[in-house]
Structure 1
Amino acid sequence: MSGSDSTYRATFGDGTSVLERVLVAIINAHTDADTEGRQWERLNAAMSALVGPTTAKERNLEKALLFILRERQRDVCDAEMHAMCSGKRASRVETRSVPTLARLAAVEILGCAAPAEKVPAVHALCAMYQDRFGLHARDYDEVREALQSEAVQHICDELAEWGIATRE
């Protein structure tokens, strides 16, 4: 049994995993007067023994990865529904890439505002996605993104010199 196995990591609405619920049931079945009220302490000890220490950072990364999966699935479903309803005349609806969703998750779920926080988080989320699902998520390239932004800004500046207003 691997701690990173998605079967054991799948979470319920309250945030607990399958493994955690099984362990809580075992702990509750073997609670006596000496251990009453210490179920969560015992659960944490059991989880650490089985899958290693779980930090708040790891839990937040898991939540962000789940966000990416849900958004990606929603995009795919929306694209398929659009194609079914619109027929051949429809323009193709694009699904957001994993790096794009990782950037969104870094901001919305992890609260990363500065590039110094966001870039490592995006890299970690893309790597987690690839490790878990065996699908290659193109790496987030902050240099390429910065160069593209600079090029767009340069073009806007050139157009402004000619009196052409642009929206950025």
Structure 2
Amino acid sequence: MRDFIYTEMMVHVPMCTSKEAENVLIVSDNAELLSAEVAKHTQANLKIIGCSLNEISALGDAGFDVVISEMPSDRAFFSQINRVLKSDGQFVTTHSSLDDVGANKNLMTILANYFKIIMPYNIGNGATALLASKEYHPTADINLQRADMLDGLRYYNCDVHPAAFAMGNYIRKEYLGIIRN
């Protein structure tokens, strides 16, 4: 997969959903590429923090607008993410292929304890990520101007954003009642 598609989709989908994020947490063992994408959002107060899985517990409560994770996760991890996210925060994570229905239903069921909206979306080359949001809907609350005014993007734009959430009927039927939109 082209790295720029992955990084742009992991970052700009949550960053362009509704309000301007001021505090972004990236949970990754290699956060440089994701941090560079977040930095394309030029609001004056933007703070980007990268950390590993073990460092999350040291972070303060309810301080982040967006959390982007590339790390394997479990119930305890999601509890920590919920703790560090603001009441209208958004969380994006990688996950198993949507063909691994059992693993994804379990993951989405756990996320449902913390988020109003849980939706998979395409991040290129057949891979998907999960967007979980406490408040904003990724296709209804997209900030179109912000999505199209970003400089230096090679893939992401305001048309790609909502299109990434389109899923075939077999996925809709398999995940009926689990995906929360």
Higher strand share: 2
TM range (shorter): under 0.3
Task: Tell me: higher relative CO, structure 1 or 2? Use CA pairs within 8 A at least 6 residues apart.
Answer: 2
TM-score, normalising length from structure 2? 0.23
Of the two, which has the highest radius of gyration?
Answer: 1
With normalisation by structure 1, the TM-score equals 0.25
